A and B are shown apart, each in its own frame.
Chain A
């Protein structure tokens, strides 16, 4: 069973604050993804990566940066957080040869006041 962990699980910040969400996968998967989940919108892709140092833009990238430092670690950065970024954030990973299966982490709930 693939393992994807996220930290923190909950985060509260203020408008304009700086937030980093962390994701680690321990299954040597090539692809990693950051999604946000909001009521009425389902899951929307923010950024993804297919290897260390690689970054691809997703469907809702505005206001977010991401960095893939190693094959295991993928970070999502909100440098000037806004209330519109209050959401539930999920990280996922998938394997090069089996991209069809994405393994999701438990999620990080972010509240921007």
Chain B
């Protein structure tokens, strides 16, 4: 498996709070993608970070990547109820054209 010990996590927070989700992976990756999946929809890419980057920002999103510990995090600041979704990280299979997806973090933001 590409992943460390990982279960589907569930987080419930109040609107306006900040939240950080983590994922760890076992083998080298050139990029970590973070996807958001809202109820009844397919996943959608929200941010990606490459192996030569330590941090990437996009609006209220911040992704970090630590290649030495093979881990990545996604932070959302000032959460909104519309951020309620399952968040997945995905890593590439070096040399192939596909990605491995983690099991995800279910985030509920209470208005």
Contacts and interface: CB of A to CB of B under 8 A. Distances in A.
Interface of A: 4, 31, 33, 35, 39-45, 48, 50, 56, 58-59, 90, 92, 99-107
B45 to A, nearest CB: 5
Interface stretch (B53-61, B69-77, B97-105): B97-105
B33 A100 contact: yes
B103 A42 contact: yes
19 contacts: A35-B101, A39-B8, A40-B8, A40-B103, A41-B103, A42-B88, A42-B103, A42-B104, A43-B90, A44-B101, A58-B98, A100-B31, A100-B48, A101-B45, A102-B99, A104-B42, A105-B42, A106-B42, A107-B41
Contacts of B98: 33, 45, 48, 56, 58
Interface of B: 7-8, 31, 33, 40-45, 48, 88, 90, 92, 97-104
A2 to B, nearest CB: 10
